[in-house]
A and B are shown apart, each in its own frame.
Chain A
Amino acid sequence: MSTVDSEGDAEDLRSRVREFLREHDHTVMEPLDFLRARFDAGLAWVHFPAGLGGIGAPRAAQAVVDAEFEAAGAPDNNPRRIGIGLGMAAPTILQFGTEEQQRRFLRPLWTGEEVWCQLFSEPGAGSDLAALGTRAVRDGSDWVVEGQKVWTSGAHVARWAILVTRTDPEVPKHQGMTYFVCDMTAPGVEVRPLRQITGEAEFNEVFLNGVRIPDAQRLGEIGDGWRVAQATLMNERVAIGGRPTPREGGMVGVVAQTWRERPELRTPELHDRLLRLWVEAEAARLAGDRLRQQLAVGRPGPEGSAMKLAFARLSQELSALEVELLGEEGLRYDDWTLRRPDLVDFTGREAGYRYLRAKGNSIEGGTSEVLRNIIAERVLGLPTEPRADKDVAWKDLPR
């Protein structure tokens, strides 16, 4: 099926990429120069406006362009490493940023020169993000920020952060928040590795001690931070659409391959579990395809949250099965060294790592419980949770 309005449009895009490739020979250019040129030609995220890395094409056109560059063997911007920037910072900056902010941030974000992180969660505000207490106080043309963030993925490699703060504690929690872009090299920003279940430190604690943020780095209106943050989180869920995966792409393929290569490990009980999970993974993969097809024809459905739930469960059950399948070997772990990786690499590590890291899939980006609430309330229309905190000033909330 065609992913853009017509096959003709797709062909236009392909020839545009081919022409770009004729003028920019990636086999001789520096990868970074090549990526900058690709951005300037509007072939980065083609649904963005001209001048900001795009040509205002439909969102679905991206797949056509990416496939064409991939087929040519052109360098990519390592989208997994810059996932937070691509999936969350960029669309938020596009929606709420000033033109000056857009011109400053979007290009190095897309090329991967500048990595982004997300300073949302706090020790006292995870699922309930609107409870956050990191203070930002106006001081002339700057804001002065005090507080602590936690579980911040990639803060140790990030150049910039999207940051939500409390600017008015006197009003209920969903009001009185303000959203900023924070310079991670600014004085007062302290990043400490937070060692996690796998032994490595992919996320961090971030202390903000008197950090000065110029008002020019505010995204959206003062006090409107919740709305901006909502847009960010919405984009986080859309981002799972991503690229189509082939059959057995992902965790199921890893386990299936072990099964094929190691007949001595097979038992009837594990066989049936594997087949059940294979079926679930295939159905979920098709559901992802269906979601993308809906997006491509401009009829996005609410299935995204369900997909994230399905993915979390599958990766946990499959990685658990893999450890059991390995039997005695499953007792060993590859490496407990405290490392600070700049991206999560499920396949670069062994089964025990996958099993432990997958535990985060039902917590990061919204827990499975919170997603079930969202599905029940926004998709099925069930009554919302009773809210004790709606009309209470933030400063008077129990915590």
Chain B
Amino acid sequence: MEGPPAMTGTPDLLYSDVETDLRASVRDLLTDHGDPAALLARVESGEPYDLKLWRTLAGDLGAAGLLVPESLGGQGASARETALVLEELGRGLAPVPFLGSAVLATCALLHTDTTQQPVAELLGRLASGAAIGCLAVPLSAMPGTGFPTGVRATAEGRLTGRIGTVADATVAETLVVPAAGPDGAGLYLVETRAAGVTVAEAVPLDLTRRLADVTLEDAPARRVAGQDTAAAAVRAALLAGAALLASEQLGLAQWCLDETVAYVKQRYQFGRPVGSFQAVKHRLAEVYLHLVSARAAARAAADTLARDDTDLPVTAAVAQAYCAPAAVHAAEECIQLHGGIGMTWEHPAHLYLKRAKADELALGTPAKHRRILAGLVDLPG
């Protein structure tokens, strides 16, 4: 009998001083950029993303280029700092294309040959925030479930096919498209302005992360990875995405807890603060308990990703299987314990529930991650 793989080293689960400073900067910026009411108005407007905020995040804080080496125009930081930014973005539900551009597209490109001029150039532009990219896979795509084959490429590099629910595609200039070519799997760059490319906005469950259905009809493309690297690049991007998404879920859950605690302290019923009733206190203690474990799981995934540790598939699956339901639970409790107000459109709680639920489906559901884990830790069904 085999048993689970041992961890290769105890991950560093704390926040470094640099990370703590970064958190403060990101939080300040998000606070300056508007309150939940402004967020609500924005998501229903014609400009659901705050691209001004995005440029400030990318330009002033270098947030978009944390994963990109300095030689390619990025910050040369690591997945740990990236996770921290995601925590804050999750907490503020910032309407910016960070996951699609700075995580998924960037990670995929970093796993191709980055000495290629178009790759190097695009990575530089993504890192600085000058361009927005996205990885053209459904947001529900799961690491480790094979290369997507919905798009076909000709030998000349023209793509045809359709990909549904692509996150952040509505604001992307460049799509990183996995496609099956005559020589097998490939990764292609497609400009969204090009002829034959249609990006049709879908009505998303999560109003703060936009989705689009992408249709390619003989669209011109440039191949940047072939058979030997394309599948690995997509897999690595999805794995990194799953590992990092846990931090977004953690930040989101933390907001839900903080907001609910504050509310039940000042809301009076039966002559007492609602938060003095034990049934309410115990439910919030339970949310807190989940957060304690979620933080450890999210930090472990970020740290193993940063160290390129072979344990990453396990820590990423654990983080997703744990943090996704923890965030949904926190958001559901937030709505319930706010009572009627929680059910209104004006109160931001619903935006958090929508993000939490969509995040639960994103990059593999908890159940799918448990299945993956079963194989990784030798607990076959």
- Segment at the interface with B among A134-142, A154-162, A271-279: A271-279
A283 at the interface (CB under 8 A from B): yes
Alpha-carbon separation in the docked complex, A283 to B288 (Å): 14
Known: A247-B4, A260-B1, A283-B322. A278 touches B293 (CB 8 A): no
A386 at the interface (CB under 8 A from B): yes
A310 touches B381 (CB 8 A): no
A289 touches B281 (CB 8 A): no
B12 at the interface (CB under 8 A from A): yes
**Secondary structure call for the B interface:** helix
- Segment at the interface with A among B78-86, B117-125, B231-239, B272-280: B272-280
B284 touches A382 (CB 8 A): yes
B250, chain A: closest CB distance, angstroms: 11
B377 at the interface (CB under 8 A from A): yes
A376 touches B2 (CB 8 A): no
User: Which among A279, A294, A306 is the interface contact of B322 at CB below 8 angstroms?
Assistant: A279
Chain B residues positioned under 8 Å from A381 (CB to CB): 261, 265
For B260, give the chain A residue with the smallest CB separation. A380
Known: A256-B3, A260-B2, A272-B367. A383 touches B289 (CB 8 A): no
Chain A residues positioned under 8 Å from B5 (CB to CB): 247
- Segment at the interface with B among A87-95, A339-347, A348-356, A367-375: A367-375
Q: How many residues of A contact B (CB 8 A)?
A: 51
Interface string of B247-260 (1 = CB under 8 A from A): 00000000001000
Interface residues on B, range: 35 or more
Chain A residues positioned under 8 Å from B286 (CB to CB): 372
For B381, give the chain A residue with the smallest CB separation. A271
B296 at the interface (CB under 8 A from A): yes
B370 at the interface (CB under 8 A from A): yes
Known: A274-B379, A376-B281. A283 touches B297 (CB 8 A): yes
A261 at the interface (CB under 8 A from B): yes
Chain A residues positioned under 8 Å from B293 (CB to CB): 280, 283-284, 286-287, 306, 310
Known: A286-B296, A290-B295, A382-B275. A248 touches B381 (CB 8 A): no
Known: A283-B293, A376-B281. A386 touches B276 (CB 8 A): yes
B292 touches A376 (CB 8 A): no
Chain A residues positioned under 8 Å from B285 (CB to CB): 306, 309, 371-373, 375-376, 379-380
A287 touches B292 (CB 8 A): yes
Alpha-carbon separation in the docked complex, A217 to B225 (Å): 77
Chain B residues positioned under 8 Å from A369 (CB to CB): 282
For A297, give the chain B residue with the smallest CB separation. B14
Alpha-carbon separation in the docked complex, A263 to B1 (Å): 11
Known: A282-B297, A379-B288. A275 touches B379 (CB 8 A): yes
Known: A275-B379, A283-B322, A310-B293. A248 touches B276 (CB 8 A): no
For A307, give the chain B residue with the smallest CB separation. B292
For A304, give the chain B residue with the smallest CB separation. B292
B6 at the interface (CB under 8 A from A): yes
A260 touches B3 (CB 8 A): yes
A247 touches B289 (CB 8 A): no
A288, chain B: closest CB distance, angstroms: 8
Chain A residues positioned under 8 Å from B300 (CB to CB): 286
A382 touches B265 (CB 8 A): yes
Alpha-carbon separation in the docked complex, A20 to B129 (Å): 60
Alpha-carbon separation in the docked complex, A47 to B205 (Å): 54
User: Which among B265, B295, B379 is the interface contact of A383 at CB below 8 angstroms?
Assistant: B265
A257 at the interface (CB under 8 A from B): yes
Chain A residues positioned under 8 Å from B272 (CB to CB): 383, 386
B278 touches A385 (CB 8 A): yes
B296 touches A294 (CB 8 A): no
User: Which among A278, A280, A290, A380 is the interface contact of B373 at CB below 8 angstroms?
Assistant: A278
A384 at the interface (CB under 8 A from B): yes
Alpha-carbon separation in the docked complex, A320 to B297 (Å): 25
Known: A375-B285, A383-B273. A283 touches B294 (CB 8 A): yes
Q: In the complex, which residues 306-364 of chain B have their Cβ closer than 8 Å to any Cβ of chain A? A: 318, 321-322
B379 touches A294 (CB 8 A): no
Chain B residues positioned under 8 Å from A40 (CB to CB): none
User: Which among A248, A275, A293, A303 is the interface contact of B3 at CB below 8 angstroms?
Assistant: A248
A276 touches B297 (CB 8 A): no
A286 touches B297 (CB 8 A): yes
B374 at the interface (CB under 8 A from A): yes
Chain A residues positioned under 8 Å from B296 (CB to CB): 283-284, 286-287, 289-290
B379 touches A260 (CB 8 A): yes
B281 touches A373 (CB 8 A): yes
A375 touches B289 (CB 8 A): yes
B370 touches A272 (CB 8 A): yes
B303, chain A: closest CB distance, angstroms: 10
Q: In the complex, which residues 328-367 of chain A have their Cβ closer than 8 Å to any Cβ of chain B? A: none
B13 at the interface (CB under 8 A from A): yes
Alpha-carbon separation in the docked complex, A279 to B3 (Å): 15
Alpha-carbon separation in the docked complex, A260 to B6 (Å): 16
A256, chain B: closest CB distance, angstroms: 6
User: Which among A271, A290, A307, A375 is the interface contact of B299 at CB below 8 angstroms?
Assistant: A290
Chain A residues positioned under 8 Å from B280 (CB to CB): 382
B310, chain A: closest CB distance, angstroms: 14
B374 touches A271 (CB 8 A): yes
A279 touches B373 (CB 8 A): yes
Chain A residues positioned under 8 Å from B373 (CB to CB): 275, 278-279
Chain A residues positioned under 8 Å from B264 (CB to CB): 382
Chain A residues positioned under 8 Å from B374 (CB to CB): 271, 275
B4 touches A256 (CB 8 A): yes
Alpha-carbon separation in the docked complex, A276 to B366 (Å): 9
Chain B residues positioned under 8 Å from A276 (CB to CB): 321, 370
Chain B residues positioned under 8 Å from A375 (CB to CB): 285, 288-289
Alpha-carbon separation in the docked complex, A283 to B322 (Å): 7
B276 touches A303 (CB 8 A): no
Q: In the complex, which residues 45-64 of chain A have their Cβ closer than 8 Å to any Cβ of chain B? A: none
B367 touches A257 (CB 8 A): no
A266 at the interface (CB under 8 A from B): yes
For B276, give the chain A residue with the smallest CB separation. A383
A377 at the interface (CB under 8 A from B): yes
Known: A282-B297, A286-B300, A382-B276. A293 touches B14 (CB 8 A): yes
Chain A residues positioned under 8 Å from B1 (CB to CB): 257, 260-261
Chain B residues positioned under 8 Å from A294 (CB to CB): 14
B115 at the interface (CB under 8 A from A): no
Q: A283-B322, A287-B297 known; 4 other A-B pairs, CB under 8 Å?
A: A261-B1, A275-B371, A294-B14, A383-B273
Can you report 7 A-B residue pairs in the complex whose CB atoms are below 8 A from each other?
A260-B2, A271-B379, A286-B300, A293-B12, A380-B288, A381-B261, A385-B278
Q: Show the binding face of A for B, using Cβ within 8 Å.
A: 1, 244, 246-248, 256-257, 259-261, 263, 266, 268, 271-272, 274-276, 278-280, 282-284, 286-287, 289-290, 293-294, 297, 303, 306-307, 309-310, 369, 371-373, 375-377, 379-386
